[in-house]
Amino acid sequence: MMPSTGAPREQWVVPELGPSLGRLSDPALGGEAGPLGARLDDIRLRLVTGVFELAGAGRAFAAAGDPDGAMATLNRVAWLALWEKAVTASAERVTATVNARLSAAAAESRFPRTRLRAE
């Protein structure tokens, strides 16, 4: 048998991301809502879970000796897709909360329903 003459394979490592994410990865707090009354903890935790899942997939590719697969899993497009989902969900939640509060204020002040804009 002939000895292998190829260069030694580089070991790819995907680092632990939890410490780098700081408070984003903290568990949801009890009854605290944001300043507008919208709770966003579930959206934040879904974002962090998605990041951890991407890192796990990247680790699996790296362990299998596939650095290209690891890099593709952790590329900008994958991260951006997670971010855009979180931003969209947050915007919808805040919008719904603000609209509900405006409707409640209109009802309390006896503002005519016919003058409220529905979009």
| Higher pLDDT among residues 5 and 115, named by residue | 115
Residue 47 and residue 86 in contact, taking contact as beta carbons nearer than 8 Å: yes
Is 11 part of a structural domain of the chain?
Answer: no
CA 78 – CA 67 distance, rounded (Å): 16
Is 13 part of a structural domain of the chain?
Answer: no
pLDDT score of 119: 46
Q: Which residue type occupies 24? A: L
Q: How many domains does the chain have?
A: 1
Q: Give this prediction's pTM.
A: 0.73
Residue 106: give the domain boundaries: 37-115
DSSP secondary structure code for residue 26 in this structure: S
The per-residue pLDDT for range 31-49, each reduced to its tens digit, is 667 767 788 889 999 999 9
If pLDDT is split at 50, 70 and 90, which confidence band does 7 have? Answer: very low
Is 19 part of a structural domain of the chain?
Answer: no
Is 103 part of a structural domain of the chain?
Answer: yes
